[in-house]
């Protein structure tokens, strides 16, 4: 008996010893059956990097991080839970079967986790030799296929191979943020990122205040960073195309350790490890002198570190406030000595400078320098121009339309800029020899140039008059529309000129594009007074013509409600038609609820707030506005969100207004969006306030489920989302409709009530659907909910496809995919 006990004890001892060895042995990869506990670690295959738990400085908090493994001074390059520390050594890191990394505390609560838009069959987490922690399919070494990687979420350090920049398709941004202190790795006050507004450049901000900018990329380097040049330590690249924009570097010798760090005091420095001294040696800093400070010398001032004082005014400019300037406060900048008069102005060339702030500039990659000059000369608001790319003699065009800020003189690798000046302030290369032949030649040259110039001006004037008359005749209807819709009928709306809108959107650049609708593209703009706007530009190929354009102006100009987007004005010039709206920073609802990553930003309280806001906006349209408005195209992409997640209904191009006693109307031209149209409207062209109620019901079901009605798929049946929701409701299983991101935050009675209200709104027959007043009361819990009848457009696709050749006037089982003879989107 005693021998048996000894055997069991020995076996238990060996098991515990093996477990301790397993936990403490460093590996570079873990799967779903393994975990890393505090005291354990992962080490990359070549031993360069290590991941585990640490306490920074004098702090006793614990963090999961990655640091250099072969360096005697612990140097952390990445922190997972930088905002939520562990208070003891109970942390555990594991990977789930869905490929999600989770960091758990002693209570088993998740304090940090990764995200992914897709899953893997055999997910693993691996620490690579580059210092990159990746989640991927086991055996797949292609980083492009990884589910998640730490390189996409930098902290304060930029390692070789890391991208710092933005994905222009998804809007995902990779940038650096400083530690708060040596004892606290949470986000500090400083961030360093690629700024995509205007032509790309790098900016450092302290909270929201710009402290430094690199100047725009000129093909070789950032114009204000002359020290960025080929060297023996690293090579660098800057990528700027339609898909992404980023800066990245690679070390030329992998045996050398070097890193870029955004320090806690807001400097961006390169450090290189030296084994001889066993320290990180300072190698390079971007902000290496007083002139690096953003806008130190104010508008039209220039900084020269070799001068005393460092700030001076550009030639032809004087201090705006001389007394303050003499006290070495240069923030007010300089003002022109001689005012511009547009037609008689010229350009003064300045060489070897850092180009001024470009966030309100305009660019064209295809213009040469002469074309750039001509473009600037034609616009009296243009203050300067320069080459976009200085390689191979220069190409591209940069134009400035505001005061020139943050310029400095560089001793090497500077750039040329041409600044608009009054003619009397220009330097001229004049032949100073005093002899008759020279004077006669000079006079002859002046006479010839005057005659030629006069002739060209006269010819140009004739051409302009001809084209103007032709355009006036062609655009007479369009011009009357502008006057009627924007000026005469609605004097409260601002009439914008094309130049202002073009300048505000960087000439409708791809980086400013917010999206694409049936009307045309939508761009973000920034007016000279700093106001952000959204510009809807009618596409030349748009099916939504002048009538729809006027329709939107007419309806939305008369509407004022916190849940309706605000129209600021319009622009009609030549063939251009544009609407100018307030800018909604959180984009549209579909961008958030249908994306697996973005949907985590919307918990249930936010979604419930959005549902109620849309309902109140529709109630205003149907009952409380000066006109009874039927929107006719209510959908997720037409619900915009402000910074506080307040929903605002937009896009009134298809809206119709009713008289006081009118309740419905019909049309032979059915327009709208598949999946949101009510049966009576899609089949018979009948629309009413109950058509919008149906669309609202679809929206509610989509917001709760996180799925689109159109294109919904379920492995157990062929129903669309409405049919799926109806089936769950009739079986008492509506809670299964709730999307994962809101499961933890949801108020279950509120969610179930919202689903119930949504199903009441999508009932087949209009008379069965509640009014929006009833909907608002029901959502607030102030009305008893009747049992819903079956929804319209809910039957399975196989049945519908068999009957898609005919149109049924009374059927409510036609799926959205079978609607024909429609201008649906």
Tell me, letter by letter, the H, E, C secondary structure of 668-732: CCCEECCCCCCHHHHHHCEEEHHHHHHHHHHHHHHHHHCCCCCCCCECCECCCHHHHHHHHHHCC
| Other beta carbons less than 10 A from residue 765's beta carbon | 14
What are the backbone angles phi and psi of residue 260, rounded to the nearest 5°? Answer: -105, 130
Compute the half-sphere exposure of residue 784: CA atoms within 13 Å on the CB side of its CA: 2
pLDDT (tens digit per residue) in 634-671? 999 999 999 889 999 988 878 888 765 666 777 766 77
Least confident of 141-145, 301-305, 793-797: 793-797
Tell me the mean pLDDT in the region 259-277: 87
What Rg value do the Cα atoms of the chain yield, rounded?
33
State residue 78's pLDDT score: 98
Q: Between β-strands 346-354 and 407-409, what pairing exists: parallel, antiparallel or unpaired?
A: antiparallel
Q: pLDDT at position 171, please?
A: 83
The H or E element containing residue 464 is helix 436-474
Partner residues linked to 51 by β-bridges: 42, 66
**3-state secondary structure at position 207:** coil
CA distance linking residue 453 with residue 459, whole number of Å:
10
Task: Tell which residue, 165, 175, 171, has the closest CA to residue 510.
Answer: 171
Q: Quick check: 666 and 686 in contact, CB under 8 A?
A: yes
> Tell me, what's the pLDDT at 673?
83
Q: Give the CATH superfamily of 589-824.
A: Transferase(Phosphotransferase) domain 1 (1.10.510.10)
φ, ψ of residue 80 in degrees (nearest 5):
-75, -60
What superfamily in CATH does domain 154-288 come from?
Bulb-type lectin domain (2.90.10.10)
Q: In what order do the strands lie in the sheet with 407-409?
A: 311-313, 301-303, 407-409, 346-354, 415-421, 384-386, 397-400, 361-364
Max mean pLDDT among 16-20, 88-92, 549-553, 803-807 falls in 88-92
* Residue range 292-302: mean pLDDT, rounded: 94
**CA-based nearest residue to 204, from 301, 81, 295:** 295
Asked if domains 154-288 and 478-582 share a fold, the reply is no
Would strands 823-824 and 671-672 be described as parallel, antiparallel, or unpaired? parallel
Q: How many beta carbons lie within 10 A of that of residue 543, not counting itself?
A: 11
What pLDDT shows up at residue 611? Answer: 97
Distance CA 722, CA 795 (A): 9
pLDDT digits (tens, 9 = 90+) for 706-738: 999 887 877 777 788 999 999 999 999 999 999
Cβ contacts of 14 within 8 Å, gap of 6 or more? none
For 328, the 3-state DSSP assignment is coil
- Residue 806 is predicted with a pLDDT of 36
Nearest CA-CA partner of 570 in 529, 600, 536, 526:
536
- At residue 703, what are phi and psi to the nearest 5 degrees? -65, -40
**All residues at 6 or more sequence positions from 35 whose CB lies less than 8 Å from its CB, including other chains:** 92, 93, 94
**Which of 14-28, 65-79, 181-195, 358-372 has the least mean pLDDT?**
14-28
Reply yes or no on whether the pLDDT at 603 is more than 60: yes
Question: Which CATH number is 26-153 given?
Answer: 2.90.10.10
What is the average pLDDT across 617-635? 87
Q: List, for residues 110-158, the tens digit of each pLDDT value.
A: 999 998 878 888 999 999 999 999 999 998 888 888 999 999 999 999 9
The pLDDT, as a whole number, for residue 780 is: 85
Cα angle, residue 667 at apex, residues 666 and 670 outer, rounded to 5°: 120
Q: Kindly tell me the burial class for residue 126, based on how many C-beta atoms sit within 10 Å of its own C-beta (0-12, 13-18, 19 or more).
A: buried
Task: For residue 609, give both structure tokens.
Answer: 């707030």
Q: Is 444 exposed, middle or buried (0-12, 13-18, 19+ CB in 10 A)?
A: exposed
Domain residue limits, the chain: 26-153, 154-288, 291-425, 478-582, 589-824
Note the residue count of the chain: 825
Topology at the third CATH level for domain 478-582 = Phosphorylase Kinase; domain 1 (3.30.200)
CA dist list (Å): 385 to 212, 374, 377, 475, 678: 22, 10, 10, 33, 54
Q: How far apart are CA 633 and CA 649, in angstroms?
A: 10
User: Helices 604-619 and 689-705: crossing angle, nearest 10°?
Assistant: 180
- Marked catalytic residue, from 28, 156, 345, 633: 633
So what's the pLDDT on residue 450? Answer: 57
CA distance 85 to 569: 49
- pLDDT, tens digit, 9 for 90 and up, residues 203-227: 999 998 999 999 999 999 999 988 8
Within 10 angstroms of residue 378's Cβ, the number of other Cβ atoms is: 10
For residue range 40-72, list pLDDT tens digits in order.
Answer: 999 999 999 999 999 999 999 999 999 999 998
The average confidence (pLDDT) of the chain is: 83
**633 given a catalytic annotation:** yes
Tokens of 132: 């990159």
Distance CA 712, CA 730 (A): 19
Q: What angle do CA 267, 270, 271 make, to 5 degrees?
A: 115
Taken in order 541, 545, 548, 551, is the CA torsion positive or negative? positive
Q: Long-range contacts made by residues 734-740, C-beta under 8 angstroms, separation at least 24?
A: 737/701, 737/704, 737/705, 738/704, 738/705, 739/599, 739/704, 739/705, 739/706, 739/707, 740/706
**pLDDT, tens digit (0-9, with 9 covering 90-100), for 392-423:** 889 999 999 889 999 999 988 889 999 999 98
Do 721 and 708 form a contact (C-beta atoms < 8 A)? yes
User: What is the separation, in whole angstroms, between the first and last Cα of the chain?
Assistant: 81
Residue 480 vs residue 526, higher pLDDT: 526
**What six digits make up the tokens of 46?**
């070549």
CA dist., res. 221 & res. 253, Å (int): 22
Lowest mean pLDDT among 253-267, 285-299, 464-478, 595-609: 464-478
């Amino acid at each position: 008996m005693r021998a048996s006990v000894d055997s069991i004890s020995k076996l238990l001892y060996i098991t515990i010893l093996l477990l301790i060895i397993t936990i403490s042995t460093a590996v570079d990869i873990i799967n779903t059956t393994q975990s890393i506990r505090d005291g354990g670690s992962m080490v990359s295959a070549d031993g360069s990097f290590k991941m585990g738990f640490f306490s920074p400085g004098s702090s006793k908090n614990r963090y999961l991080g990655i640091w250099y493994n072969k360096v005697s001074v612990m140097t952390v390059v990445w922190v997972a839970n930088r905002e939520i520390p562990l208070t003891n050594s109970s942390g555990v890191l594991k990977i789930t079967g869905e490929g999600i990394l989770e960091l758990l505390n002693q209570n088993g609560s998740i304090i940090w986790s990764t995200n992914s838009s897709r899953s893997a069959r055999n997910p693993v987490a691996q620490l690579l030799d580059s210092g990159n922690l990746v989640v991927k399919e086991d055996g797949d070494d292609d980083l492009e296929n990884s589910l998640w990687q730490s390189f996409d979420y930098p902290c304060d350090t930029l390692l070789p191979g890391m991208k710092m920049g933005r994905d222009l398709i998804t809007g995902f941004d990779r940038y650096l943020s400083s530690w708060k202190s040596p004892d606290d790795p949470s986000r500090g006050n400083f961030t360093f990122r690629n700024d995509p507004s205007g032509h790309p450049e790098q900016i450092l901000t302290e909270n929201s205040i710009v402290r430094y900018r690199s100047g725009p990329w000129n093909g070789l380097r950032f114009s204000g960073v002359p020290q960025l040049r080929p060297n023996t330590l690293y090579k660098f690249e800057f990528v700027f195309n339609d898909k992404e924009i980023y800066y990245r570097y690679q070390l030329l010798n992998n045996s050398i350790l070097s890193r870029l760090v955004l320090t806690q005091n807001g400097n961006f420095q390169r450090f290189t490890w030296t084994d001889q001294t066993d320290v990180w040696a300072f190698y390079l800093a971007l902000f290496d002198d007083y002139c690096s400070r953003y806008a130190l010398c104010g508008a039209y001032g220039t900084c020269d570190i070799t001068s005393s004082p460092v700030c001076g005014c550009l030639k032809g400019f004087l201090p705006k406030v001389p007394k303050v300037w003499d006290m070495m406060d240069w923030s007010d900048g300089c003002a022109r000595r001689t005012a511009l008069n547009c037609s008689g102005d010229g350009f003064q060339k300045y060489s070897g400078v850092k180009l001024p702030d470009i966030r309100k500039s305009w660019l064209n990659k295809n213009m040469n320098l002469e074309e750039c000059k001509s473009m600037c000369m034609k616009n009296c608001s243009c203050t300067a121009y320069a080459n976009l790319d200085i390689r191979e003699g220069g190409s591209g065009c940069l134009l400035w339309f505001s005061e020139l800020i943050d310029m400095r003189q560089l001793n090497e690798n500077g750039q040329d800029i041409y600044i608009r000046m009054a003619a009397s302030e220009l330097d001229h290369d004049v032949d100073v020899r005093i002899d008759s032949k020279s004077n006669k030649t000079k006079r002859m040259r002046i006479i010839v140039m005057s005659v030629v110039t006069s002739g060209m001006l006269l010819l140009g004037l004739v051409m302009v008059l001809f084209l103007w008359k032709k355009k006036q005749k062609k655009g007479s209807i369009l011009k009357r529309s502008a006057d009627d819709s924007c000026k005469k009928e609605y004097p409260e709306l601002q009439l914008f000129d094309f130049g202002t809108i073009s300048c505000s959107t960087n000439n409708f650049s791809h980086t400013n594009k917010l999206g694409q609708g049936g009307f045309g593209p939508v761009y973000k703009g920034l007016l000279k007074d700093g106001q952000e706007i959204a510009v809807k530009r009618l596409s030349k190929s748009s099916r939504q013509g002048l009538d729809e354009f006027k329709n939107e102006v007419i309806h939305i100009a008369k509407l004022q409600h916190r849940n309706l987007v605000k129209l600021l004005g319009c622009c009609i010039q030549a063939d251009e038609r544009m609407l100018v709206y307030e800018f909604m920073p959180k984009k549209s609802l579909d961008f958030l609820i249908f994306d697996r990553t973005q949907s985590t930003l919307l918990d249930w309280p936010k979604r419930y707030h959005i549902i109620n806001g849309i309902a109140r906006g529709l109630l205003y349209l149907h009952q409380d506005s000066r006109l009874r408005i039927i929107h006719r195209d209510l959908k997720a992409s037409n619900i915009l969100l402000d910074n506080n997640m307040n929903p605002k209904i937009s896009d009134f191009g298809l809206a119709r207004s009713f008289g006081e006693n009118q309740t419905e109307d019909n049309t032979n031209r059915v327009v709208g969006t598949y999946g949101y149209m009510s049966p009576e409207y899609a089949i018979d062209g009948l629309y009413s306030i109950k058509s919008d109620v149906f669309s609202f019901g679809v929206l509610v079901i989509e917001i709760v489920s996180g799925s689109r009605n159109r294109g919904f798929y379920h492995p157990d049946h062929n129903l669309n989302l409405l049919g799926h929701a109806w089936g769950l409701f009739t079986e008492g299983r509506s809670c299964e409709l709730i999307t994962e991101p809101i499961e933890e935050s949801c108020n279950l009675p509120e969610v179930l009530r919202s689903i119930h209200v949504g199903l009441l709104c999508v009932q087949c027959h209009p008379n069965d659907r509640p009014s929006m007043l009833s909907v608002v009361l029901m959502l607030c819990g102030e009305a008893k909910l009747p049992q819903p009848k079956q929804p319209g457009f809910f039957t399975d696709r196989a049945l519908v496809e068999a009957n898609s050749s005919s149109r049924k006037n009374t059927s409510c089982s036609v799926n959205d995919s079978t609607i024909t003879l429609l201008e649906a989107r």
